[in-house]
Structure formats: structure tokens, C-alpha cells
Amino acid sequence: MMHRYACTVAYNGAGYEGWQSQTRGTSIQEKIEEILNRITEQKINIIASGRTDAGVSASAQVFMFDTDKEMSARKWMGAMNGFLPADIHIMDCREVDPVLFHARYNVRWKKYVYRINTGPYDVFTKDTAYQCPVNWMLRQ
């Protein structure tokens, strides 16, 4: 019997060429599919609710996969997290009705956050915010 799972993943995209599989470089999709293939010993393709570009992170990206392997959603989540690198983490996994749920076609909203530091260079946000070269001392 085929099962469909919907998963929510968070990832730091700094070391990846984006979400979608690429001919060059490594993608988030490839990393997750590699783990699912290892767990199931089958070729598993995942479908996401959207994509991100190279270097872009996500805090709640939804994807789905179909498998005939019997395992609880909680065990799927634990198994994936046990093999994934530290910069990719499955936050939630649920079994869903394959007729009623599709990760790409059932999207209701997406939220994009752009972080721009217009103040002095910040060593604590240098990897997560654009450091805008504005002379902030002139504004004070």
C-alpha cells in the first residue's frame, strides 16, 4: 500500500545550490532524497511546495514523498534526521491523504523574509543578513 508523507524542513542554504536538484553542486532536495533512498532502498523523489535559490535558507519548507515502506511518521522523522547533515533538519512529518494533499498544488501562502542591516557591520548577522554599505554615522 502506498503512503504519502508531508514533511516540514528547516535548512541553512549557505552551502547548497538551492532546493532543486542541480547538474553541478549539491541541493537540499538531493540530500533528502539520498537519505530516503538509503532508508527505503528504493528511488524516492520528493516534491516541494516551492524552491529556494543558491545560498538561501528556509525555516519551514514543506515537501512530500510517496513510499510503500511501513513506518510511523515519527520514525520517518527520526530516521531522516539521524542521517541528514546538521544544517538540514526535519521539523515535522505527517502521513497525509494522497488524494487530498499535494505539496505543490495545495500551497495557500508563502512568506519571504529579507534581512538587510543598514547599521554598522554586525559580526553576529553577517551570514544571515545583507550588510548594506550605507554610511550609518551620517544618519545619527
Residues serving a catalytic function are 53
- Owner of C-alpha cell 494533499: 101
* Bridging pattern class, strands 130-131 and 116-117: parallel
C-alpha cell at 109: 501562502
- Nearest alpha carbon to residue 122 among 111, 137, 135, 132: 132
Partnered with residue 63 across adjacent β-strands are 7, 48
